Structure 1
Amino acid sequence: MKLYSLKNISKKVKFLEAVKLGLCEKQGLFFPKKLPYFKKKEIKKILKMNFFEKSYKILNSFIGKEIPKKILKKIIKKSFGITFPKIKKIEKNISCLELFHGPTLAFKDFGARFMSQIIYFLKKKNKNKVTILTATSGDTGAAVANAFYKMKNINVVILYPKGKISKIQEKMFCTLGKNIKTISVNGSFDECQKLVKKAFNDKKLKKNIGLNSGNSINISRLLAQICYYFEAFSLLEKKNRKNLIISVPCGNFGNITAGLIAKSIGLPIKNFIASTNSNDTVPRFLKYNKWKPKKTISTISNAMDISVPNNWDRIIELFNQNKWNIKDPKYLKFGKVSEKQTKKSIKKLYKLKYISEPHAAVAYNVLKKEIKNGEYGLFLGTAHPLKFKSTIEKIIPVKIKLSKNVKKQKNIKSFSFSIDPKFSLLKKFLI
């Protein structure tokens, strides 16, 4: 598969090179020059396969001969062996796609574990040092840290906005030590993201420390996420597959990008909904045709507290490739949910006997507004409720039990450093 930089179309690379580089010059994201496509007969066959077989079929269509068949199958088993999607029925025509049954209780486990295995495969071929640098608004940090933990000669540096992620989220990646370094930044997630991008623009630094990205800006993470949309579709009853709409809680827009790619390569999903919290740059753009990011607002759905979503460029490119109109609601709907509405949705779901965390509640809220007669709706559950234990327990009368691992991590001292959002300070740390 050939990919090109969205900031320089003439810059073309193969899959493994794109994974190795992470981000191209001028902060350009990589995108496939041509997407594979599965015809209806092939889709029927894929839907009958188990999760590993499905994932191999999908990922191999992108990667091809760059990774030998046996090795790619091993990578997929290691990546997805403990991360399975599940469907939980909520109402007659609505279900939740639970993606939080992996080791760090968040959907990011799928992409992070696949990416770590690909980079480890590259590392064995090339013995240069590797530094994974990533910014997190909540769940990416734990998923990336867990995926790379104790990998030889691979260092991980994770930036996160100080005081703006839940305590449990923080403990899940700030207590590991070894090859995992964590930095709390006195600022927003967007400022963390800017620091990461500046590091990638520094060619000398990038070369000296073997810099790579752990965010969804790395193409390997994005491709891995396509797989669970196929699995979700196959888990639904056949009658519910017709007129399927999927509501995705959006922060950096990687998750919905993967879903739209799944639709582009043949999965018959009727529509997607981009659901955001008060950080509504994309909904405002789709409504008024003006790209005007505002200052990031802190919310209880903190992983979505992003005003400048990286993957939006990929969505624009995908729509251009497919000749879809970005403003046509038959391809993409959208909605914004306030804090008050988020809390109301958590209460409503509780009455329906479902304990939801804030991000899923945002997706559910917009889905309820948009779903029409004859349609079936899925909203994505991107994190386990226990990661937002203190928040949820203030909203609904429930006590959420901590798992053994979380209990253990809760009592371990955090190893985080702290810096102001200045690139000179990050560069000094990395060197």
Structure 2
Amino acid sequence: MKNKESRRSFLKKSTAATAVSAIGLSSILSSCSSGKTNAELGLPPLLDRAPNGKKLKAGLVGCGHRGTGALLNFLSTGPGVEVGALADVFPDKVEACRDRLKKYKLEVPEENCFVGLDAYEKLIKSDVDVVLLVTPPHFRPQHFKTAVEHNKHVFMEKPVAVDPVGIRSVIATSKKAKVKGLNVVTGTQRRHQRDYIETYKQVTNGAIGEIVGAKAFWNQEHVWFRRRQEGWTDMEYMLRNWNNFCWLCGDHILDTHIHNIDIINWFTGKYPKSAVGYGGRHRRVTGDQYDFFSIDFDYGNGLFSHSMSRQIDNCANGTGEVIVGTKGYTNCKNTIYNLDGTVKWKYDYPKDKDGKSTNVVKIPPYIQEHIHLVTAIRTNQYVNEAERTALSNLTAIMGRESAYTGKKITWEEIMKSDMRLGPKEYHMGNVDMEFPIPVPGSAIKS
């Protein structure tokens, strides 16, 4: 497969594709109004720990730093949770995870450790109850589908896919999980963060009036990369350097900035109708991604959000969101302002022993999201976040493709697109792929 050819035809319509309009998503969006409970607003139960209940054994697919962290977060939810199995393409990743777990006196037997491109399938077929999917995002749709087919509850990190074909797969699997009563929580941790949740409730209850504009930003220094080592095949190099290849991670507008984009979708209660954007590459030394994106998302009826992300050293950095209304504005996290800039409301963080604000929520959101999953399983308070996260992922993909091509991309076009990134077959040898840097104006929209 040639990525160059895929890019040139990325918006060709698939006759088998399911069209989902940016309008008419009422079954997914919360209908928020004053006085509604957290459950009615689609908000998680904010418990300090999960309730007692049936023992739950977790299997981790993807034993890197974030994957091991997600497993430790799951194990921090309360009593009766344990690790059952580990899986990764690379044996050194599994061993590193086992060594890290040993520091917490957690042992995973050799027979419960699986290695290779099919390791995920072996783990899912084992006796685990919950599967944590934390591999490079390209593989998420297939791993999610397999987990649900084998009746496992799922935690999966964002992004949940890197292309429209993957997004539609995740949405379809999400519906199957619902039919089976399988709980699914995703790694959009801000939606499980207590200060964000309380700010959201204030906004839905009219604290800033009607929303008229927004911006989202994730600007930081460069992230990790790995140069190719002697003896590495194409596939091993790309997998070990996955954060720098679009087919594996979706570019950083998905990998990191998706958090901010998701917040704008959440607070506005909408998904954008279209995107016009640009970006470029100046500093990266590996992979095929951009260094920066600037996207204008059109939510309709005069509501726009400016969305920007950058990964370049020695620049002005910052991460966050701003939503402006007719009566004020908010940083979405902990403060609401009047239009003149004075503070209207602030989130009340826990106090330290001296009575000063800690500026930290009581339970870290990385643990809170797993508490939500375990609670849902044990109390039958069903949760399934896969579809809404997939649609926020699709928002980011729409912005990415607008920047790559220089074209205006509509929601309907990106949802129907037959674009699929990555090789047709997976093996650990060399791969017949090309990785040209996207040049705006040269790609063909349809």
Task: Report the TM-score when normalising by structure 1.
Answer: 0.32
TM-score (norm 2): 0.31
Larger RCO, structures 1/2 (Cα 8 Å, 6+ apart): 2
